[in-house]
Amino acid sequence: MLLWINGPFGGGKTQTAHEIRRRLPGSVVCDPEHAGFGLRRMLPPELREARARKPLIDDFQDLVSWRRGVVEVLDLALTRHDGVVVVPMTVTDSGYFAETVGRLRELGHDVHHFTLLAERETVLRRLRERGLGQVLRYVSGRGGGPRRESWAVRRLDHCLERLAEPEFAEHLWTDRTTVPKTADRIAVLAGLTLEPNTEGALRTRMRQARVGIRHIRFD
């Protein structure tokens, strides 16, 4: 089984995916963003989106190699791995959605798709809370500083509008719930049983902070 967790940037996809992995024995998180950033790193620095005046590509999802590669790798993971595969990835383009999620279904895999939604102000607050990563990038000299987050902000309205469409259901609103409860809801809808969440609030915040730090992009 594959759980594809969609949603706007800053919508909680990665935290939810890792919460499911933590409480579902045998499950794994496969993040297609790794492939996208890897492809982007193949370009000379002056042609990369963050530094180029006229970027060669604005979104790695526009690369056919990314879409085909994601399907190939996830097909392999689903075929060879016994447990559930969890994929946190924003996809708003109908064609790209068909080429990834749709194609995996055509290959015969049991794919459950969920979109995490929230009010615009909620997502903006979450993006601001991710600002630590932007500061670290700036201090390290390897990124463009806090302006790097502007890419996600620029695309926010588009994401929220597109992902609210019926084709991107199942929709789960996350404004007034926690990551563990969102994971619980996904599990119920997918017919899965998660281990009980026995963490206290402080430990949960610390673990989620570690997840966030591990996913800071330095380029």
- pLDDT at 217 (0 to 100): 56
Structural domains of the chain, count = 1
In the predicted structure, residue 142 carries a pLDDT above the cut 60: no
Taking the C-alpha atoms of residue 65 and residue 14, their distance in angstroms, rounded to an integer, is 23
Range of the structural domain that residue 80 is part of:
2-214
Of 119-128, 137-146, 204-213, the range with the lowest mean pLDDT is: 137-146
Average pLDDT rounded to a whole number, residues 114-133: 83
Residue 219 within a domain: no
CATH code for the domain of 176: 3.40.50.300
pLDDT digits (tens, 9 = 90+) for 52-95: 455 556 789 999 999 999 999 999 999 999 999 999 999 999 99
Neighbour tally for 158: CB within 10 Å? 11
pTM: 0.84
In the predicted structure, residue 105 carries a pLDDT above the cut 50: yes
Average pLDDT, the chain: 85
